[in-house]
Structure 1
Amino acid sequence: MTVTEPGVIPWREPGTGLRHLADVAARMTRAVESVIDGKPEVVRTSLVVLLAEGHLLIEDVPGVGKTMLAKALGRSIDARVRRIQFTPDLLPSDVTGVSVYNQDTRDFEFRPGPVFSNLVIADEINRAAPKAQSALLECMEEHQVTIDGVTYHLESPFMVVATQNPIEMEGTYPLPEAQRDRFTARVSMGYPSPAAELAMLDSHGNTEPLDAVDPVTEATEITRLISLVRSVHVADEVRRYIIDLVTATRRHPELVLGASPRATLHLIRTARAHAALDGRAFVVPDDVQAMAEPVLTHRLLVRAETAASSGSAEAASRIVADVLARVPIPHRGARPSHRGR
């Protein structure tokens, strides 16, 4: 693995940084896809969310590789990765940490919980009670934890990758709207194709494929790439297009609750990361459209009569597709008129 020294920027000319980002992303993609067969779009969305400094929610039925994807992503980075198994008896202090009285010093000392990591795998997050789920609210939004009036800042980069089963499954609690809204994007694994499932039998039959995944980058390099993604240009026309899309969800007759202002921020951040992965230093409407469904659908609250006919998740996806079809696409180019921005 080629790793640059901390603080050293491996690019000096316009475009060099994007080529370096593409190289790191390609190595991470190969590492993850050596474990996850036949899901290139899901893997790409995971990388987009990572580079957008966001959090990922993986929702699907049991046994399709949700936890495996989260673990493979963590294994591909030389960083601190911790897993939390969410259960009905999980306490908030099991996530964030707790202050313990030390008899030697006669004072309380803080013992950090697993959330003090670069990548936190929240496995089956909706099997814990809402009180335990809420322990992640401050962590995900502000990258900090407050215990007994003392604030502790989390490491950078910081990403939560949570898995959950559909709420129709037994023993699950629905995620509150405030919790769902903090996840940048939601993806579904889906069942593999017959060819991918056959390949899975060969690769998973006798060995554990995760054991063969080695880190291809490190946390400090991911932090530098995140900074690069922030500099990707977004033209005024594309910004207004994003606003129009989000506003349209708030006015849609089949929705009780549309997308929040936080959704607007997450959509522009993921559009930047999507453009960077394509080697562009500017966002085009195609980037926004590509990320609209994973960023918006889990935030929408569908009316009961609509959800009853097709299910909430399917209805939300259809509504986002309807919004994308109705909102006019900006005609003017998104590329900046000057170089190096």
Structure 2
Amino acid sequence: LCCDVETGVLWLGTQRKRQRKRKDKGICGRFSDLAHKSNISEQEAQSKSKVCANVFCGAGRECAVNEKGEPSCLCIEQCKPHKRSVCGSNGKTYRNHCELHRDACLTGLKIQVAYDGHCKEKKQEKAAASPVVCYVADRNELRRRVIDWLQTEVVPDGWFTKGSNFTDILLKYFKNYDSGDSQLDSAELLKFIQHNETAVQMNSYAEEENNRLLRSLCVDALIELSDENADWKLSFDEFLNCLKPGFNPPEKKCALEDETYEDGAETQVECNRCVCACGNWVCTAMTCDEKSPVIDTDGDQEMTEEEWTRRVAELNKHQETVEKMKTSTKDV
């Protein structure tokens, strides 16, 4: 079976003996489209290679061609999946050097390689303890792994058979894990993600218990990402939007006292530490004793557990207020 892309003629046989010819715009159109897309892709690659030939971007960045056809250094969009864990100077384990430098670029923080391998758990004083949190990089990494796993199950349409596209695959899993209310809550979404344990394994912490907690927190972060009506459940449309390969997750910042903080920023209140993660302040909840260092020096008494819970709630309420103000400003 041969096709002349220019004339649109489909013919059977060899070049020496063409027994029958017939026009088939459908099939030849496919070959033409593929050839056209291939040429465009090659031209873009050649253009980028030429423009970026003498451009050096720092670690965690890559050269891209902007709308004006000029070179520009941007944070790496996606690192290669090879695994060679390293411990960052921020105490976090990264899958490889590229992921560390990419995270530093995205967050604007100065992160260096402390040593190869997983970060070692340190016995710290109460004042230095940090909460287990799901950072933007963790959330996006989990999301990428789930998408990669789902794409391996996509079956393209055949000549006489209908395949399964990405939406079909998501609908199948949505129905399998939905309890009957046409929505997925955090527990159901976690069960879905755990369906492929190998693909979504997270190893940011040395202790397995912390890694399991991290995955649960990242599931909550995924729900928050696409939960349009803020009911902490995903309808199928919200589920589809969350895992749509072309969707670029936004990066929310944390607000505190009229200032905004990048993902990974930390602050301390008495002996407890708060970390900015996915746009929310997450804090430890330890009872402070007399030996613990106190940040406030105005002579006030130490906060009770109830006062501390209220303080954390105020931090996140302030965060919500700032987000609403930003939305109102954009609407105007």
TM-score in terms of structure 1 length: 0.24
TM-score in terms of structure 2 length: 0.24
